[in-house]
A and B are shown apart, each in its own frame.
Chain A
Amino acid sequence: MENYLSLFETYNVPAAFWVNIQLSFWAAIWALVIGTVLALFRISPIPSLQWFGTAYVNIFRNTPLTIILAFGFLGLFSVMQISLAGELDDSLFRIAIVGLSLYHAAFVCEAIRSGVNTVPVGQAEAARAIGLGFLPAARLIILPQAFRGAIAPLGNVLIALIKNSTVAAAGSVAAESSSLMKTMIEFRSDLVIPIFLTFALGFVILVIPIGLLTTWASRKLAVAR
Chain B
Amino acid sequence: MSAQQVLFDAPGPRARRTILIGNIVGVLIVLGILAWVISALADKGQFAASMWTPFLESRTWEFFILPGLGNTLKAAGIAIVTSVAFGLVFGVGRLSHVAPIRWIAGVVVEFLRAVPVLLMMIFFWLALGSSGAVKPQEAPLIAVILALTLYNGSVIAELVRSGVYGLPRGQREAGMAIGLTRNQSLRNIEVPQALIAMLPALVSQFVVILKDSALGFIITYPELLQYTRRLGVGEGNVIPSLLVAAAIFIAINFALSTLATRLSVLLSFRTKGRRPAAQEAVALDAAST
Contacts A138-B7, A164-B116, A178-B116; A71 near B1 (Cβ below 8 A): no
CB of B190 within 8 Å of the partner chain: no
Q: How far is the CB of B117 from chain A (nearest CB, A)?
A: 7
Contact with B along A116-139 (1 / 0, CB 8 A): 111111011101100001100110
Contact with A along B117-138 (1 / 0, CB 8 A): 1111011001100100000000
Contact with A along B202-245 (1 / 0, CB 8 A): 00000100011111011000000100000000000011001001
Chain A residues lying within 8 Å of B123, measured Cβ to Cβ, are 181, 185, 192, 196
Once the chains bind, are B249 and A63 in contact (CB under 8 Å)?
yes
Once the chains bind, are A75 and B277 in contact (CB under 8 Å)?
no
Residue on B nearest A134 in the bound complex, by CB: B8
Contacts A47-B23, A49-B22, A203-B115; A62 near B126 (Cβ below 8 A): no
Question: Interface SS of chain B: helix, strand, loop or mixed?
Answer: helix
Once the chains bind, are A80 and B116 in contact (CB under 8 Å)?
no
Chain A residues lying within 8 Å of B253, measured Cβ to Cβ, are 61-63
Contact with B along A187-209 (1 / 0, CB 8 A): 00100110010011001100110
Once the chains bind, are B119 and A181 in contact (CB under 8 Å)?
yes
Which of A52, A70, A124, A185 touches B1 (beta carbons < 8 Å)? A124
Chain A residues lying within 8 Å of B22, measured Cβ to Cβ, are 44-46, 48-49
Q: How far is the CB of A128 from chain B (nearest CB, A)?
A: 7
Contact with B along A42-82 (1 / 0, CB 8 A): 01111111001000001101111111001100110001110
Which of B111, B115, B289 touches A160 (beta carbons < 8 Å)? B289
Instruction: Count chain A residues whose beta carbon lies closer than 8 angstroms to a beta carbon of B.
Output: 74
Q: How far is the CB of B22 from chain A (nearest CB, A)?
A: 4
Which of B126, B288, B289 touches A186 (beta carbons < 8 Å)? B126
Interface residues on B, range: 35 or more
Once the chains bind, are B9 and A178 in contact (CB under 8 Å)?
no
Contacts A121-B1, A125-B6, A156-B281; A79 near B287 (Cβ below 8 A): no
Once the chains bind, are B250 and A62 in contact (CB under 8 Å)?
yes
Q: How far is the CA of A110 from the CA of B114 in the complex (A)?
A: 21
Once the chains bind, are B214 and A80 in contact (CB under 8 Å)?
no
Q: How far is the CB of B126 from chain A (nearest CB, A)?
A: 5
Chain A residues lying within 8 Å of B6, measured Cβ to Cβ, are 121, 124-125, 128
Residue on B nearest A197 in the bound complex, by CB: B123
CB of B49 within 8 Å of the partner chain: no
Chain B residues lying within 8 Å of A166, measured Cβ to Cβ, are 116, 118-119
Q: How far is the CB of B219 from chain A (nearest CB, A)?
A: 9
Q: How far is the CB of B243 from chain A (nearest CB, A)?
A: 8
Residues from 271 to 287 in B contacting A, C-beta threshold 8 Å: 277, 280-281, 284-285, 287
Residue on B nearest A70 in the bound complex, by CB: B242
Stretch of B40-48, B79-87, B92-100, B170-178 lying at the A interface? B40-48
The 3 closest A-B pairs by CB, nearest first: A62-B253, A64-B214, A48-B26
Residues of A within 8 A of B (CB): 43-49, 52, 58-59, 61-67, 70-71, 74-75, 79-81, 104, 107, 110-111, 114, 116-121, 123-125, 127-128, 133-134, 137-138, 142, 152-153, 156-157, 159-160, 163-164, 166-167, 169-170, 177-178, 181-182, 185-186, 189, 192-193, 196, 199-200, 203-204, 207-208, 211
Residues of B within 8 A of A (CB): 1-4, 6-9, 11, 15, 19, 22-24, 26-27, 30, 37, 40-41, 44, 46, 110-111, 114-120, 122-123, 126-127, 130, 207, 211-215, 217-218, 225, 238-239, 242, 245-246, 249-250, 253-254, 257, 277, 280-281, 284-285, 287-289
